[in-house]
Structures are given as C-alpha cells and as structure tokens.
A and B are shown apart, each in its own frame.
Chain A
Amino acid sequence: DGGITQSPKYLFRKEGQNVTLSCEQNLNHDAMYWYRQDPGQGLRLIYYSQIVNDFQKGDIAEGYSVSREKKESFPLTVTSAQKNPTAFYLCASSRGSSSGNTIYFGEGSWLTVV
C-alpha cells in the first residue's frame, strides 16, 4: 500500500532525553513536512523539506531537528531543548511544493514526557 508510515505510534520521553520520530513515505513525493498538534489547536509547522539534503524551519522549529538524506525518509528529533514536547506529531508529504499540491498526512505519533 502507498502511504506515509510514522513510528512509533506512542513514545514516552524522560526529561533531558532526545527522541527521534520516524517518517517514511512510498509515494515518491518530493516534499515532506512535520507538524505538531496540541489538544484543541490547529496544526503548526515545525520543519519542511522540498528536496533531498535540504530543509527549512517552520513556525516552531526551536528544540527540534531534522534530516533528509533520502527522498522517502524525514526523521524528526525532539531534543531536550524543547521545553514542552508533549503533543501529537504529524508527518506529511506532497508531490511538489507549489500551491495546490495535496498534502497527505501520516497517522501521527503521540509523544509524552514522563
């Protein structure tokens, strides 16, 4: 099946730890994105990548890092510098980055700080 796979679905992080969320797509999409969703709020863009080996900060990039070494993969690392990391994280992709390209989302990953 074609789609976007995020793992793990649930993740618990201790204070001071870095954690990495995986995102893989087999849609052959050039652009990939990471969004954060907090309860009762809309989605906010963390990072996005239009091509391999290139990525840009979104609106809330502080405390996060990404890499784009392969077209199909766009992992997100939540670092200890992120003060309030508990949230639902959504990876997405689109064929291109021009306006009108449909953005497809993965099933999301829940991150909880314990």
Chain B
Amino acid sequence: GAVVSQHPSWVICKSGTSVKIECRSLDFQATTMFWYRQFPKQSLMLMATSNEGSKATYEQGVEKDKFLINHASLTLSTLTVTSAHPEDSSFYICSAGRGTQHFGDGTRLSIL
C-alpha cells in the first residue's frame, strides 16, 4: 500500500486563489520531504526540500514567497501556492523516505 499520501489529487480554481497541498508519510516519520513539479511529458524537477521544524530550502529559481512550505510535524508537509496564476498550473508531487524516496500520487493544479 501507499506509504506517502498526497491530497488533494486535483484542484481547479480561479486566478488569485491560494491553494494548499498536503503530503503525509503514513508508515514512518519523515524529517525531510521533497516537493517536485512536473510539466507534461517532462521529468520531475525538484522545487524545495521541506525540513521538519525549520525553514525549507528552495532550488534556484523557485520563489519561496510564492510556494510556501510548512513541515510542522514528522508526518506532514504542506505546500501552499499563494495567489496562483495560470502559469502555476502543473502537476505537483511530494516524496519522503530514508534513502529510497516514495512518492505521493501527485496533485494536478489547474488555475483558470
């Protein structure tokens, strides 16, 4: 069964809305989780590393004020896309694990 749960799986909302995506580790405690973005027919691009109890570290070119990450517990990390615009539409995926990373099923975000 799944070891990483991601919710929601699909979001459609108006431009300017903020959207929160949750990522939970089900069978283990995760001090670190990762957030990826994937465009159609492209591979996963790491956006940020979520660290429990401390600030997330963002990859170059990723706006930290746009993509807010909170890792408040050892089993939950959230990604909030603030004031989303159509160009933020994408497939967002989280992962967690020790060594081998296990991935959530992704969130399809569509901004109208």
A and B co-occur in one complex: no
Binding site for A on B (CB under 8 A): none
Binding site for B on A (CB under 8 A): none
